[in-house]
Structure 1
Amino acid sequence: MLQLDHIYKSYGDHHVLKDINLHVDQGDVVSLIGPSGTGKTTLLRTINYLEPADKGTITINGISVNTEKAKQSDIIKLRRQTAMVFQNYSLFRNKTVLENVTEGLTIVQGKSKEEAEEIAIREISRVGMADNVDKYPYQLSGGQQQRIGIARAMALNPSVILLDEPTSSLDPERSAEVMRILQNLAELGTTMLITTHEMEFAKHVSNKVVFMENGHIVEEGSPDQIFQNPVEERTRQFVRKLEKPLNVD
């Protein structure tokens, strides 16, 4: 479903991604974990060309793009295979919930208003927000806005959904709501690539965990391998820190 080969990304002299290679099968739920500033968000943004990679090849659902030679038409084809859920929601403030979800369907996919609304209402209902279709983002809680962001992504029927810290701006209760929705999507076979600090989600919902540091993939494997029996010493150090209680004295 998704293949990354030798992806590099720099900002000036700062090398953010260094030879990233990753394979994601259809239906995989992959959690990207690691210290802050290690390139996880940049990796997601290179996949859908919000941040063009400097080198490497991205393949999604059979569509392959060499990032050094990509034409705009190639980028559009690749981008249409993905949908992004942002940590700050990124909803249109002047549009209703329904309009936020139908926007991409009508403008990007060229669907009629009637078809777009039918799809949008189905996905809004799936995330438990059917009673809020006429509300504006400012009338919703952060958790509700993120649920609309997920509905908007699902409505596009992408090959893979990219989620950047989808619960980082939420309190624990709202975070749990969003995680339950993602778990439901995982059970439906939705392919997802998620940057997260929610280790319980990574342990119990993901079927693959990728530990990144300093722009490299240090180790990848099943949740049991990464959290219980990691191979790399740096992964072991990271996991051990997660298990230590916070000392607030």
Structure 2
Amino acid sequence: MQATRGSGGVKVTGPLLAAASAEARVRLLMNAHALAVPRGRLIIAQDAEADRLFILLQGSVGLGFADEDGAATMVEILAPGEAFPLSAALLRLPHPVSATALAPCRLVAIPAEDLREAAAADPALMHTAIEQMTRQWRLLADQVVDLKTRDATQRAARFLLRRLSAPRGAVEIPEPRGAIAARLGMTPESLSRALHGLEAAGLLRLHARRVDVPDRAALLRAAQPRAGASQGARRV
């Protein structure tokens, strides 16, 4: 993936910049600035104006939602290379969820107006932005399917599988376990039981902030919903 030097010489990468023309990259990074955000720091408040686009270079960001009574949940967890809040910045809408650093993060902030101007002038950049927004929608649809068809252990296995493309290897877990549990629609205690159950079955080995997966194919089989699974089959 192509990397570009942003403000202060920071190396910036990700699908948006990789797809952009040289002229569009200059426009995107001309007024951009780098940010270092500690774990737990709020990056964007829910319903705030989306006046900047953030590209996550390192760390992990949680997108959360709180209702009028203050009950909060984790909607999604973003990995390095992802841009947010893309749709809100393009459409001049408030950000519908909050964004919080779940691990120490490095980001680049791009003024939303620069994003809109660059996307309007560069069809490849706009196409990639639409693709990324479509993938984000697909992830939300996958969450609904997971909640209706997979139990807690299967959802935990599927979460790990999304972070491991090799036949075996280590999955880094920089986020608090409570944030992961909220993202998966379960309690931290249920997540702990699910992970230890997978470990007891020989499908993974747990460490403080890392999970070793000796056989991805075996873990994938454990993540498959059972025949006849439904919403009533969930165990959280």
TM-score of the aligned structures, taking structure 2 as reference length:
0.30
Which protein has greater RCO, CA pairs closer than 8 Å, 6+ apart? 1
TM-score of the aligned structures, taking structure 1 as reference length:
0.28
